[in-house]
Chains A and B, each alone.
Chain A
């Protein structure tokens, strides 16, 4: 007890964390880059992102077509790959219509803010370890820069990107964009919280915000496995953050036309469009870096001849494979799930994801501190009580008495539904029956009609 009180009053610094095996001070190799090399890398990232977005559009159209038993783009070029070049050029050649009620400066600035912020995230994403540049002796990491708050910088870029959306909708001076913009910003900031919470435990395990350190800390075990709840939280939050189905409420066509970009055309629309797809790539790359081991080879391959596949230019392959798996996940989700209603969406974000995120941080924080202090009970001490508790829980779940009158829903059984569940009218699903309307029993005329209808149904 005295120990605990002492520990509370005066924090005793434990020995600093030892760097993992094969640790290289990345920031030193990075800072050796010349300004010319930095500029080349920046342009390379830009070109990489532009090409990736073009490919992503084609990829999405193709995959979603296959999921809907269509063929998708197949006319121009091999596999319809040139379709997207035409799409991009078309946008550039379109008439640039500026709505009359716009705010002159912000109307142009907003899409620029969006797209510039989207471009920035990749500058701290490690695509590979230090490699030798071909035809020279120089060694440089496959990454533009890395600094002590690199991971925070990613979140900062996402946050500033919201300005592009809010200002775009506001500066259009039109109704639909305004509503779309406030919806979109409320959505993005809500899911940014869930995203931020999911990263706390990652930083606990890496003890660093250098992205290369975070990748290095996952050499043995991916954080996506170790911190599975945080990873799942991040996956949901990243779909909400990028305004993708099933969370694409800002662009709900039936309600808002095209959301905040309704009044934008030509290249300004293209920048918003580009920003959306780059953001998909960004969140996928961040998920890869923080949860899926970054550029490191997946497990069976990482063991091949002492990790030769983790050196040289091989990591680029693993990085791209992981990112495009996540991109496929985005398309898959779009092909499978329906759009949520706005109230459902906000409820999911605020009442489920954020409490789960907070709970997970508290749980993991307490467990880690107990572990560091060596106060955790041993495995033997835990196993027997845990087995008993688990067994009891199984028994309780299996033999939990169901309430009488609470019929299980299933095929062939008719279940009455509340037609105005939660204040929103819902149509009955197959096998469900609407309760009789209270209005039909009020008048004699309606009652006789209802009886007649009932007779007809029986007959």
Chain B
């Protein structure tokens, strides 16, 4: 066959099919499930007691989670840069190796710094 389909089109089809199923489930359950609501049922879970009023817009979480999230972004980008090198390391040869090792070293310094400062202690 000469006419080739773009390989990303099946992904769109898959997204469509999966979305249809997921949304259909939510819609169907709205119609076939019972609806006997009361105040206690609809209030936020709090071990059977009156729920504490939560802060508007979610609430507060420990700062550590933000620290982990920021560190994650640094490392995720590092890994994404490792992949192209991993695919082409044979052609990049020694030049690529030295380049990627310097890059890794640059990331490792702040990693060690954060480690020593207790950024990974919970």
Q: Do A and B come from one complex?
A: yes
Interface positions of A (Cβ within 8 A of B) = 4, 7-14, 16-17, 27-28, 30-33, 35, 38-39, 41-43, 45-46, 92-101, 108, 111-112, 115-116, 119-120, 123, 144-147, 152-153, 159, 170, 172-176, 178-179, 182-183, 185-186, 189-190, 192-193, 196-197, 199-201, 203-204, 207-209, 257, 262-263, 266-268, 270-271, 342-343, 346-347, 350-351, 354, 358, 361-362, 365-366, 368-369, 372-373
- Which residues of A lie under 8 Å from residue B44 when comparing CB positions? 99-101, 172-175, 263
> Would A28 and B122 be within 8 Å (CB), given that A14-B91, A119-B18, A178-B61 are in contact?
no
Q: Judge if B109 is at the interface, Cβ distance under 8 Å.
A: no
Looking at the assembled complex, report how far the CB atom of A68 sits from the nearest CB atom of chain B, in whole angstroms: 29
Q: Complex formed: what's the CA distance from A287 to B54 in Å?
A: 42
Q: Complex formed: what's the CA distance from A346 to B115 in Å?
A: 12
- In the complex, the answer to whether B7 meets A189 with C-beta atoms within 8 Å is no
Q: Which of A41, A42, A99, A147 has the most CB of B within 10 A?
A: A42
- In the complex, the answer to whether B104 meets A192 with C-beta atoms within 8 Å is no
Looking at the assembled complex, report how far the CB atom of A237 sits from the nearest CB atom of chain B, in whole angstroms: 12
**A-contact 0/1 string along B1-36, CB 8 Å cutoff:** 100111111110111111101110110111011111
- Which residues of A lie under 8 Å from residue B43 when comparing CB positions? 99-100
> Would A182 and B120 be within 8 Å (CB), given that A100-B44, A207-B87, A270-B25 are in contact?
no
Q: Pick the contact of B93 from A17, A178, A204, A373 — CB < 8 Å?
A: A373
**A-contact 0/1 string along B72-114, CB 8 Å cutoff:** 1001100110110011111111111110110010001000000
- Identify whether the interface residues of B are mostly helix, strand, loop, or mixed: helix
Q: Which 7 A-B pairs have the closest CB atoms?
A: A343-B122, A31-B4, A174-B44, A11-B95, A267-B29, A145-B10, A119-B18
- Which residues of A lie under 8 Å from residue B88 when comparing CB positions? 207
> Would A11 and B25 be within 8 Å (CB), given that A112-B19, A201-B86 are in contact?
no
- Which residues of A lie under 8 Å from residue B89 when comparing CB positions? 204, 365, 368-369, 372
- Which residues of A lie under 8 Å from residue B17 when comparing CB positions? 39, 42-43, 46, 119
- Which residues of A lie under 8 Å from residue B104 when comparing CB positions? 358, 361-362
Give B34's nearest chain A residue, CB to CB: A95
Q: Pick the contact of A120 from B6, B15, B69, B96 — CB < 8 Å?
A: B15
Q: 20 additional contacts, CB 8 Å, given A16-B91, A97-B42, A116-B19?
A: A10-B95, A33-B10, A42-B14, A46-B18, A92-B28, A119-B17, A120-B11, A152-B80, A174-B44, A175-B44, A178-B58, A186-B65, A186-B68, A190-B68, A203-B83, A204-B86, A207-B87, A263-B44, A342-B122, A347-B120
Q: Complex formed: what's the CA distance from A207 to B88 in Å?
A: 7
- Which residues of B lie under 8 Å from residue A14 when comparing CB positions? 90-91, 93
Give A369's nearest chain B residue, CB to CB: B97
- Which residues of A lie under 8 Å from residue B50 when comparing CB positions? none
- In the complex, the answer to whether A116 meets B18 with C-beta atoms within 8 Å is yes
Give B88's nearest chain A residue, CB to CB: A207
Q: Complex formed: what's the CA distance from A366 to B62 in Å?
A: 40
Q: Pick the contact of B87 from A7, A208, A257 — CB < 8 Å?
A: A208
- In the complex, the answer to whether B21 meets A46 with C-beta atoms within 8 Å is yes
- Which residues of B lie under 8 Å from residue A13 when comparing CB positions? 91, 93
Q: Complex formed: what's the CA distance from A401 to B43 in Å?
A: 64
- In the complex, the answer to whether A189 meets B93 with C-beta atoms within 8 Å is no
**How many residues of chain B have a CB within 8 Å of chain A?**
76
Give A179's nearest chain B residue, CB to CB: B61
Looking at the assembled complex, report how far the CB atom of B26 sits from the nearest CB atom of chain A, in whole angstroms: 6
> Would A354 and B75 be within 8 Å (CB), given that A93-B32, A175-B46, A182-B61 are in contact?
yes
Give A173's nearest chain B residue, CB to CB: B54
Give A149's nearest chain B residue, CB to CB: B83
Looking at the assembled complex, report how far the CB atom of B55 sits from the nearest CB atom of chain A, in whole angstroms: 9
Q: Complex formed: what's the CA distance from A385 to B36 in Å?
A: 78
- In the complex, the answer to whether B94 meets A7 with C-beta atoms within 8 Å is yes
Q: Which of A28, A46, A146 has the most CB of B within 10 A?
A: A46
Give A210's nearest chain B residue, CB to CB: B7
Chosen A-B contacts, 6 in total, with CB atoms closer than 8 Å, are: A8-B94, A95-B34, A99-B43, A101-B44, A120-B11, A159-B76
Q: Complex formed: what's the CA distance from A197 to B86 in Å?
A: 11
- In the complex, the answer to whether B7 meets A196 with C-beta atoms within 8 Å is no
- In the complex, the answer to whether A178 meets B59 with C-beta atoms within 8 Å is yes
Give A204's nearest chain B residue, CB to CB: B86
- Which residues of B lie under 8 Å from residue A9 when comparing CB positions? 95
- Which residues of B lie under 8 Å from residue A153 when comparing CB positions? 11
- Which residues of B lie under 8 Å from residue A193 when comparing CB positions? 72, 75-76, 79
> Would A268 and B45 be within 8 Å (CB), given that A112-B19, A120-B11, A182-B61 are in contact?
no
Q: Complex formed: what's the CA distance from A335 to B19 in Å?
A: 34
> Would A271 and B54 be within 8 Å (CB), given that A266-B33, A354-B75 are in contact?
no
- In the complex, the answer to whether B68 meets A189 with C-beta atoms within 8 Å is yes
Q: Complex formed: what's the CA distance from A33 to B10 in Å?
A: 10
Give A365's nearest chain B residue, CB to CB: B97
Q: Which of B17, B23, B65 has the most CB of A within 10 A?
A: B17
Q: Pick the contact of A362 from B28, B30, B33, B101 — CB < 8 Å?
A: B101
- Which residues of B lie under 8 Å from residue A159 when comparing CB positions? 76
Q: Complex formed: what's the CA distance from A190 to B71 in Å?
A: 9
- Which residues of A lie under 8 Å from residue B5 when comparing CB positions? 30-33, 35, 38
